[in-house]
Each structure stands twice: as C-alpha cells, then as structure tokens.
Amino acid sequence: MNVVTLVVAQLEYDGCLRVFEMRVLPQLPLTIAYADEFDEPHSGPFHFLDEHHKETFEKGFAECKAWNVKGGAKLDQCGGVKVDQRRE
C-alpha cells in the first residue's frame, strides 16, 4: 500500500510512550506492506519495500524520544523525520 505519512506509537514496559512520524512527498509515497504479508524479516510493524525508507524508519525510531505516561509528565516529544526522496 502507498502512504504519505506513517505514525508508529509504542508503549514500553516502563510506562514510556514512543511516537514516531515519518512523512514523504505526496507524489513519492512510502510503499509498505503489513508484517503478516511476507515471511521476510521486517522493521517495526511493516515491511518497507524500499531499502531507503526502511533505513530511515529504523534510525528515526531508534533515536525517538519518549513521553512518560506514568504520571503524565512529558520527558520529550519525538519529532518526525522528513524523508528526502532525491537520491543521487
């Protein structure tokens, strides 16, 4: 499926909520598949059919900050990553 924005939220065991947003240009969408559509290993809840998008997601989600939802206090908000579609 083609999408222009991907939002992944993950609640950790320690009560932190990690939220990552990945956006691309509408004319150059992300092509993803659900995890159960292929037997291949995947990153996160999706298969990225473009290696560049996969690497961008892995790096962005790994560096994503978290919200502490235990007491409602904000640690830091995770920012979105804009994917540069222009490749050399």
Give the total number of structural domains in the chain. Answer: 1
Written as six digits, the tokens of 23 are: 């956006």
In a domain, 32, yes or no: yes
Q: Determine the 3-state secondary structure of 8 from DSSP.
A: strand
Inside any domain, residue 86: no
36 belongs to a structural domain = yes
Structure tokens at 60: 């962005």
Where in the sequence is the domain holding 48, given as residue range(s)?
2-81
Q: 61 phi and psi, to 5 degrees?
A: -70, -35
Give the pLDDT confidence of 36-76 residue by residue, as tens digits.
Answer: 888 888 777 888 888 888 898 999 988 888 888 755 444 44
State pLDDT tens for residues 45-55: 888 888 888 89
Other CB atoms within a 10 A radius of the CB of residue 4 amount to 13
**At which residue do the structure tokens 């009560």 appear?**
15
CB 74 within 8 A of CB 67: yes
